[in-house]
Amino acid sequence: MTQNQSQVEILEKSQTKIQPPKMFDVIFYNDAKTYFEFVVLVLMQFFNKDLHQATDLTHSIHQKGRAPVATYTYEVAAAKRDETVATARANGHPLRVEIEASLGEQP
C-alpha cells in the first residue's frame, strides 16, 4: 500500500430526508356582531379568496360556528391571524380567529 492509498478516506453518503413543514389551519369563528360582508371582505383581502369562495366560506362559518379558511406554515398562519384580528378590532368587530395544527387537507 502506498502512502497516497493509506490517506484516502471513504465517505459514506448520508441520506437525510427533509420533512415538509408542519401546516396550520386559520380558523374563523361565528359571532353575532361581525357583519357577514366584513368577513367576506377580509377573506378576499387577506386570504386571496374570490367573491364566490369568500361567500361560501362565510356561509360555512355561519352555519357550523367555525371553519378553516386557509392552511399555511405556522409563521404565515400566525401573521394572517394577527392581521385579521387587528383589522377586525380597528373596525369594531369581535371576530375570533385562531390557528391549529392542520389535519392534512387544505381548505
Q: List, in order of start, the domains of the chain with CATH numbers.
A: 17-101 (3.30.1390.10)
Q: Which of 37, 46, 40, 32 is nearest to 85 (CA)?
A: 46
What is the Cα–Cα distance from 99 to 25, expressed in whole angstroms? 5
Q: What is the pLDDT of residue 104?
A: 72
More confident residue, 106 or 79: 79
Tens digits of per-residue pLDDT, 12-36?
Answer: 667 788 888 999 999 999 999 999 9
Q: What is the pLDDT of residues 91-101, one digit of tens each?
A: 999 999 999 99
CA distance 68 to 25: 6
Contact 24, 72 (CB under 8 A): yes
Buried b (16+ CB within 10 A) or exposed e, 11-27: eeeeeeeeeeeebbbbb
Task: Note the pLDDT of residue 67.
Answer: 98
Q: Whole-angstrom Cα distance, residue 45 to residue 70? A: 13
Which residue shows C-alpha cell 369594531? 92
Whether 107 shows a pLDDT value over 60: the answer reads no
| pLDDT score for 105 | 54
- pLDDT for res 102: 95
Q: How far apart (Å, rounded) are the C-alpha atoms in residues 48 and 37?
A: 15
